[in-house]
Amino acid sequence: MPEYRDFVPRESFQPTLALSPDAGTVAYSSNAGGRFDLWIISVATGEPRRLTDLADQAVRQIAWAPDGKYLVFTADHEGDEQYRLYRIGLDDENPTEISSGPDCQRILAASPFEADGRYLVYAANDREAIVQDVLIRDLADESEQRITPPPGVVFEPTGISPDRRWLLTAGFRSNTQVAAYLIDLQDADAEPKCVTAPYGDGFFEPGPWLPDSSGFYLRTDTWGEHTAAARYDLDDETLEPISHQEWDVEGIKAAGDTLLWSINADGCSILHVQRDDTVQPLPDIPPGVINAVTLAPGGDPVVLLLDTATRPTEIATWDAMSGFRYLTDVRPPALHVVEPVEPEPVVYPASGGRRIHALLYRPRTTGPHPVVLSIHGGPEAQERPAYLRSGLYQHLLDEGIAVFAPNIAGSTGYGATHQKLIYRNWGGCDLDDLDYAARYLRSAPSVDGDRIAVMGGSYGGFAALSCLARLPYPWAAGVSLCGPTNLVTLARACPPTWKHFVSVVLGDPDTDAEYLTQRSPITYADAITAPLFVLQGARDPRVPRAESDQLVARLRNRSVDVRYEVFADEGHGFTSRKNELRAYEEIAQFLCGHLLAR
């Protein structure tokens, strides 16, 4: 029988792609060399080449210069999320840093270069830790222009208009409160103008510019529960819908007269293209999740990072002449001898008449099977049909363990109301949905209700710990990867630019301390009896190590079977391939040991 590592993809990718101006080369971030470095691959031949060897850094965002002679990218150190800016030519031995000042969070604009490539746009909180400004850097003389946001708004720039008149930026107050701002670059004293304010305080995430600079595309929920694609006209200041369906538009790209958008249909990404006012879905793309997409300047080809439940994330391309094809093949050995399992969509009832969407992965052997209740992070994220946790799902399935992955309250993809249920309600309606998930599993004929483990990372780790501590079921085991245990200390330790977000979504650690304590797993630690595996990054900037230290100490004082692994050179998640594989291999052994030994 294959071991866990037989299911591990030969490499993994960060969710970023950049296609060269001549459409011949794709730049991407891969851990094929051990950490996430900058690579390029030929669209014609699929031949890859590594451009950086950063040792203890990870490449996060990438963009080509308009002349195609070099790339810029962001990278952080051992997962600390303090991103610096670099540039590298195709024949350079080493990158050159182009950022200055202290360590901080630097974020490239969606389209960071203006047309001539002289100016580079990015955001940074270098001036004040809790404020994220927009900076326009003159690459010729290294001077910078700074635009400051209104109070309580975090700027993330989109790009400069083709006529160089306007800078477009998103202004975030929370994940569901996003406005579009314009800055007049011809007026040095101009204040950022919120052009979507007349339409209310909703979700208006700006996207690419129209080629004539007359407006821009955006995603918005102004017409209902789900996010639509729209166009904003600068002259008459109006919004016009382009695609409005009963599922969310998850991304928009434009190149020339070609407009491309992706719809998240119950977790699967479906690409649509509009040319000459004709809209059609792109054919032949396997069902899965598109983690990044980029267009050639003429709109053809389309390059995407595609992740499916039965094939790991790959770089692929689609063009009108030859259709869909993969540029990479990272399939592990096990997928050549084992038939991977597709998940089944499931809807189960919850309180208040709500219905919760979930994915159920069933082993191919005869049941009833033990099961892992797997909880996604976020919480504003979504469980989707993908090759998750570096092959862990498929390995567990091959061992005879089912996986149940619900999209509980707070999840995206099922309307704004469902997403906002968790706002200032962590450990409330979400835990109630997990209670109903456990009830569903205990009554499902294909599942052994006496052998249920619970697992999650980040917010999912918090939810998993909440299940173990607060739901009255005989849990077989639990796994928490970078999971918060104390919501008060979590709120206080969040990255500076997240302060307002955290107040909106989680709560204020000063004014809401009593409520946050009441919802924290550490408050109920004495109720945890199931064997537990806790994994933590020592450099985690979001969930400090002390969160896990405190819980583990409490459990060990009561002689609870708890295993604790701290990764000294990791932050929130993994940047080292070696660490990631060791972690998931040990998780697999832990779960199999407690679910199959009975």
- Single-letter code of the amino acid located at 569: D
Q: Residue 282: helix, strand or coil by DSSP?
A: coil
Nearest CA-CA partner of 566 in 577, 582, 555 = 582
Quick check: 262 pLDDT over 80? yes
Quick check: 35 pLDDT over 70? yes
Give the pLDDT of residue 299: 77
CB 120 within 8 A of CB 137: yes
**Better pLDDT: 367 or 167:** 167
Give the pLDDT of residue 79: 77
CB 207 within 8 A of CB 219: yes
- pLDDT tens readout for residues 186-204: 988 888 999 999 998 899 9
Distances in Å between the Cα of 442 and the Cα atoms of 378, 398, 507 are 26, 22, 33
CB 430 within 8 A of CB 409: yes
Highest mean pLDDT among 242-251, 499-508, 518-527: 518-527
Give the pLDDT of residue 501: 77
Quick check: 598 pLDDT over 70? no
What sign does the CA torsion over 547, 550, 556, 560 have? negative
Give the pLDDT of residue 179: 95
Residue 129: which pLDDT band, with cuts at 50, 70 and 90?
confident
Q: How many Cβ atoms are within 10 Å of 150's Cβ, its own excluded?
A: 13
Just give the CATH number of 99-244. Answer: 2.120.10.30
Length of the chain: 598
Quote the CA–CA distance of 341 and 420 in Å, as a whole number: 32
- Single-letter code of the amino acid located at 480: S
Q: What is the distance in angstroms between the CA of the first residue and the CA of the last residue of the chain?
A: 20
CB 168 within 8 A of CB 156: no
CB 316 within 8 A of CB 330: no
Cis peptide leading into 379, omega within 30 of 0? yes
State which fold the 334-595 domain adopts.
Answer: Rossmann fold (3.40.50)
Quick check: 395 pLDDT over 90? yes
Quote the CA–CA distance of 67 and 449 in Å, as a whole number: 60
Quote the CA–CA distance of 536 and 574 in Å, as a whole number: 10
HEC string of 345-409 equals EEEEECHHHCEEEEEEECCCCCCCEEEEEEECCCCCCCCCCCCCHHHHHHHHHHHCCEEEEECCC
Using the structure block, give the residue that is written with the tokens 């009975």.
598
Nearest CA-CA partner of 36 in 327, 381, 313, 295 = 313
Quote the CA–CA distance of 213 and 592 in Å, as a whole number: 57
CB 110 within 8 A of CB 97: no
CB 75 within 8 A of CB 85: no
- pLDDT tens readout for residues 335-378: 999 999 999 999 999 998 999 999 999 999 987 999 999 999 98
Q: Residue 37: helix, strand or coil by DSSP?
A: strand
Nearest CA-CA partner of 430 in 476, 454, 462, 389 = 462
What sign does the CA torsion over 104, 108, 109, 113 have? positive
What sign does the CA torsion over 289, 378, 431, 566 have? positive
The most distant pair of C-alpha atoms in the chain lies apart, rounded to whole Å, by: 72
Q: Residue 497: helix, strand or coil by DSSP?
A: helix
Quote the CA–CA distance of 262 and 277 in Å, as a whole number: 17
Element (H, E) at 488: helix 487-493
- pLDDT tens readout for residues 538-589: 888 788 898 899 999 999 999 999 999 998 888 888 878 888 999 999 999 9
Give the pLDDT of residue 503: 83
Q: How many Cβ atoms are within 10 Å of 87's Cβ, its own excluded?
A: 17
Q: Which residues contact 293 (CB under 8 A, 6 or more apart)?
A: 17, 251, 253, 260, 262, 271, 302, 303, 304, 305
Percent of the chain with pLDDT over 90: 71
Q: Which residues contact 336 (CB under 8 A, 6 or more apart)?
A: none
The vertex-400 CA angle with 399 and 406, nearest 5°, equals 110
- pLDDT tens readout for residues 441-459: 999 989 998 999 999 999 9
Nearest CA-CA partner of 363 in 383, 332, 341, 334 = 341
Quick check: 1 pLDDT over 80? no
CB 260 within 8 A of CB 302: yes
Give the pLDDT of residue 246: 85
Quote the CA–CA distance of 315 and 190 in Å, as a whole number: 42
Domain ranges of the chain: 24-88, 99-244, 246-331, 334-595
Element (H, E) at 166: strand 166-174
Full strand arrangement of the beta sheet holding 106-113: 144-147, 131-138, 119-128, 106-113, 154-160, 166-174, 177-184, 193-194
Phi, psi at 364, each rounded to 5°: -80, -10
Q: Kindly report the pTM of this predicted structure.
A: 0.88
Q: Mean of the per-residue pLDDT values for the chain?
A: 91
Token output for 44:
């014609």
Q: Which residues contact 220 (CB under 8 A, 6 or more apart)?
A: 196, 199, 202, 203, 204, 205, 227, 228, 230, 239
Distances in Å between the Cα of 563 and the Cα atoms of 145, 201, 498 are 51, 46, 31
Quote the CA–CA distance of 531 and 57 in Å, as a whole number: 34
Phi, psi at 395, each rounded to 5°: -65, -45
Residue 121 bridge partners (DSSP): 136
